[in-house]
Chains A and B, each alone.
Chain A
Amino acid sequence: MTRMPGPLRFAAVRHGLVVIVLAAAVAGYTQIAGSFADFQLAQIAIYVMAIAGLTVLTGLNGQVSLGHGALMAIGGYSAALVMQHDPNGHLPLAVVLVIATAATAVAGGIIGVAAARLRGPYLAGATLALAVGIPQLAVARQFAHTLGGEQGLTVRSPQAPSFLGSSFSLEHWLSWICAAGALVVLFLLSNLVTSRYGRTFRAVRDDEIAAALAGIHVARTQVLAFVVSAASAGLGGALLGVVTSLVAPAGFTLVLSIALLTGIVLGGLGSIVGAVWGSILVVYVPQWSTDLAHSLSFSTVMGSYFAVAFYGLVLIVVMLVFPSGLQGGIVRLWGMAASRVRRG
Chain B
Amino acid sequence: MEPIACTGALRVDKQVDSGHRATRRWNPVRDIMDDTQTATLSSTGILIAAIGRGSRAALKRLYELESSRLYGIALRIARRPDIAADVLQETFIQVWQNARSFSPERGSGAAWLTGIVRFRAIDAVRKLGREILSDDPRLGDEAIEPDVIERIDAKAEAEALRRCLEQLDDSQRRCVVLAFVDGFSHAEIAERLAEPLGTVKSRVRRGLLSLRSCLQS
Is chain B a partner of chain A in the same complex? no
- Residues of chain A touching chain B, judged by Cβ–Cβ distance below 8 Å, are none
- Residues of chain B touching chain A, judged by Cβ–Cβ distance below 8 Å, are none
